[in-house]
Amino acid sequence: MSTIWILVAFILGFIIVFQIAKASEYVAILRGEDKTRKESNRINAFLLLVFLVVGLFGVFYCNEQLKGKILPESASDHGDKIDTMIWITLGITFFVFLITQILLFWFAYKYQEKEGQKAYYFPHNNKLEVIWTVIPAITLTVLVGFGLYYWFQITGEAPKDAQLVEVTGSQFKWEFRYPGKDGKLGRKYFKEISETKQNPLGQIWSDPDNHDDVVGSQEMHIVVGKPVKLIINAKDVIHDVGLPHFRMKMDAVPGMPTTMWFTPKFTTRQMKEKYGEDFNYEISCDQLCGKGHYSMRGVVIVESPAEFKIWLAKQTPQYVTANSAPAPESPAGGTPAKPAGGAAKDSTTGSSNAIKTRN
């Protein structure tokens, strides 16, 4: 019974509010407030027209001021294609934006409330519905088609002479591995990962391809004008390799390597000459990966083939780092003991003669 009385109270309340609103409207008409409302509508219509003009000028001004300042020109061949797609998309959407906004504000001004003017409307029009459905559908299909075409290029097979770089993300840093003279990356196994044993990527030392692989952190070296294929991994959670200057982006997923490739167009030195000494190519994590996500940034150094060879020659393969250790002091009167990992030391020079494979 109480539910019924509550429902009745709601209905009566609605009726009372409705009647008060109608009475207020009649009182406003009698007092001449109808004229005031129409005058207010005219002012609002004029202000909307002013807002249209000022707003379009603001859009143009912001574009001119910020053009080229958010990101410099694309530094890769695939990036040029991505930029072209973006400009085409912006051109189409800006054209639609202009038409819709001009019509919206102009109609608000032109068809403001007037004496003797009644609004005309129609509930259904097949021709209009076909136009505003088919044209956007065709446009979006073309844009998506170009997007898929470029996507399959970026993630497809890289040229045979492409430089290989393995990128591994973990909270909150990037690690890079480069093949040595053999041009091959050795096999890995996640259970072999050990910071204490100098094996941060889990390389399998019994694989000869690992013996000349070089591992570095936070700084990726690539060669200008040469295709580079990135093999992307993650140790812990999902990360994302973001290369904004090259217009590249790819998820780093634990247990599921992903790849992409591109060709750098300018060395770091050339970009510094264009944009100042503070310029650096950046690799960032574009996927929220934890409380230290903001700090997961690295530097990409694009250099000439000769500079890259010199840099690579100065690096120590991770196999050597992991399997070499200083020789412990020999007992008095005894023979020198062998170092950990089985690397025999020459008693005269102290240099390593051999390094045994750790299984």
Contact 101, 52 (CB under 8 A): yes
pLDDT in tens, 291-305: 999 999 999 999 999
Judged by DSSP in three states, 170 sits in strand
Q: Give residues with Cβ within 8 angstroms of 112, minimum separation 6.
A: 41, 42, 44, 45
Q: Give residues with Cβ within 8 angstroms of 269, minimum separation 6.
A: 303
CATH C-level class of 163-321: mainly beta
State CA 253 to chain mean position distance.
Answer: 15
> Does residue 262 have a cis peptide bond before it, meaning omega lies within 30 degrees of 0?
no
Residue 239, pLDDT > 60, answer yes
Residue 33 banded pLDDT, cuts 50, 70, 90: low
Residue 246, pLDDT > 90, answer yes
Residue 62 banded pLDDT, cuts 50, 70, 90: confident
Higher-confidence residue of 337 and 42: namely 42
Q: What is the pLDDT, as a whole number, of residue 345?
A: 36
Give the lowest-confidence range in 126-130, 148-152, 332-336, 345-349: 345-349
Residue 108 banded pLDDT, cuts 50, 70, 90: confident
Q: What is the pLDDT, as a whole number, of residue 339?
A: 40
| CA gap 281, 272 in Å, rounded | 10
Residue 352 banded pLDDT, cuts 50, 70, 90: very low
Q: What is the DSSP letter of 198?
A: T
In degrees and rounded to multiples of 5, residue 107 shows phi and psi of: -65, -40
Give DSSP secondary structure letters for 21-41: HHHHHHHHHHTTHHHHHHHHH
Domain boundaries, the chain: 1-29, 30-114+124-155, 163-321
Residue 150, token pair as written in the block? 């470029």
Q: Which residue has the tokens 């539910």?
A: 3
pTM above 0.85, yes or no: no
Higher-confidence residue of 90 and 358: namely 90
Residues found in the chain: 359
What average pLDDT does range 210-227 have in this prediction? 93
Where b means 16+ CB within 10 Å and e means fewer, 80-105 reads ebbeebeeeeeeeeeeeeeeeeeeeb
State the chain's mean pLDDT as an integer.
84
Residue 71 banded pLDDT, cuts 50, 70, 90: confident
